[in-house]
Amino acid sequence: MKNLNRIIWFLGFVFILFSCQQIPEEYAAADKFRLSWTDDPTTTMTIIWDQKVGAEATIFYGKEDFGRQFWKYDHQQKPTEKLLNYYHMNTFYCTLENLQPDAIYFFLLKDSVGVSKRFSFRTAPDKPQQFTFVTGGDTKSSGASLEAGRASNKMVAKLRPLFVLFNGDFNSGNGTYPDRWHQWLNDWESLATTADGRLFPVIAVHGNHENGNKSILNKIFGAPFQGTDSTNIYYSLSIGGDFFHMISLNTEIDEGGAQRDWLQHDLQAHADFTFKIAGYHKPFWPHTAKKGENEYQYEQWAGLFYKYGLNMSFDGDSHMHKITYPLRPSRENGSYLGFIRDDENGTMFVGEGSWGAHPRPNDDDKPWTMQSESVNQIKWIHVKPAEPGSPASMEIFTVITSRYDAEQNQTFYVDDVESISDGNRFEIPQNITLFTGKDSVKSVKYPLHLNE
Ligand SMILES: [Fe+2]
What's domain 30-122's architecture?
Sandwich (2.60)
206 CA to middle of ligand 1, Å? 9
115 CA to middle of ligand 1, Å? 38
Q: pLDDT digits over 29-64, tens only?
A: 999 999 999 999 999 999 999 999 877 899 999 999
Is residue 404 packed enough to be buried (19+ CB in 10 Å), middle (13-18) or exposed (0-12)? middle
Residues carrying CATH 3.60.21.10, the chain = 131-451
Domain 131-451 adopts which CATH fold? Answer: Purple Acid Phosphatase; chain A, domain 2 (3.60.21)
191 CA to middle of ligand 1, Å? 23
Of 115, 203, 123, nearest in space to 156 by CA: 203
Neighbouring residues of the ion ligand 1, judged by CB less than 5 Å: 169, 207-208, 317
Asked if 360 contacts 318 with a C-beta cutoff of 8 angstroms, the reply is yes
pTM of the model: 0.95
Asked if 354 contacts 149 with a C-beta cutoff of 8 angstroms, the reply is no
CA distance 250 to 279: 9
Which residues make Cβ contacts (< 8 Å) with residue 298, sequence separation at least 6? 284, 285, 329, 337, 338
381 CA to middle of ligand 1, Å? 22
Q: pLDDT digits over 332-375, tens only?
A: 999 999 999 999 999 999 999 999 999 999 999 999 999 999 99
Which residues make Cβ contacts (< 8 Å) with residue 8, sequence separation at least 6? none
322 CA to middle of ligand 1, Å? 15
Cα 65 to the center of its chain, rounded Å: 24
245 CA to middle of ligand 1, Å? 24
- According to DSSP, residue 142 is labeled S
450 CA to middle of ligand 1, Å? 33
283 CA to middle of ligand 1, Å? 10
- According to DSSP, residue 198 is labeled B
Q: In the predicted model, is pLDDT for residue 158 greater than 60? A: yes
294 CA to middle of ligand 1, Å? 13
Average model confidence (pLDDT) for the chain?
Answer: 95
Better-predicted residue by pLDDT, 452 or 268: 268
231 CA to middle of ligand 1, Å? 17
CA distance 426 to 382: 7
pLDDT reported for residue 7: 61
316 CA to middle of ligand 1, Å? 7
95 forms beta bridges with: 46
CA distance 206 to 171: 12
Q: In the predicted model, is pLDDT for residue 2 greater than 70? A: no
357 CA to middle of ligand 1, Å? 10
Helix (H, G, I), strand (E, B) or coil at 377: strand
243 CA to middle of ligand 1, Å? 30
Look at the chain and count its residues.
452
Q: pLDDT digits over 250-295, tens only?
A: 999 999 999 999 999 999 999 999 999 999 999 999 999 999 999 9
Q: Kind and range of the H or E element at 327?
A: strand 327-329
Asked if 417 contacts 400 with a C-beta cutoff of 8 angstroms, the reply is no
pLDDT band at 439 (very low <50, low <70, confident <90, very high): confident
278 CA to middle of ligand 1, Å? 17
165 CA to middle of ligand 1, Å? 15
287 CA to middle of ligand 1, Å? 13
82 CA to middle of ligand 1, Å? 29
Rounded to 5 degrees, what are φ and ψ at 385? Answer: -75, 165
- Residue 308: other Cβ atoms inside 10 A: 17
425 CA to middle of ligand 1, Å? 31
Mean pLDDT of all residues in 172-186: 98
- Residue 323: other Cβ atoms inside 10 A: 22
Residues carrying CATH 2.60.40.10, the chain = 30-122
275 CA to middle of ligand 1, Å? 26
3 CA to middle of ligand 1, Å? 79
pLDDT reported for residue 23: 75
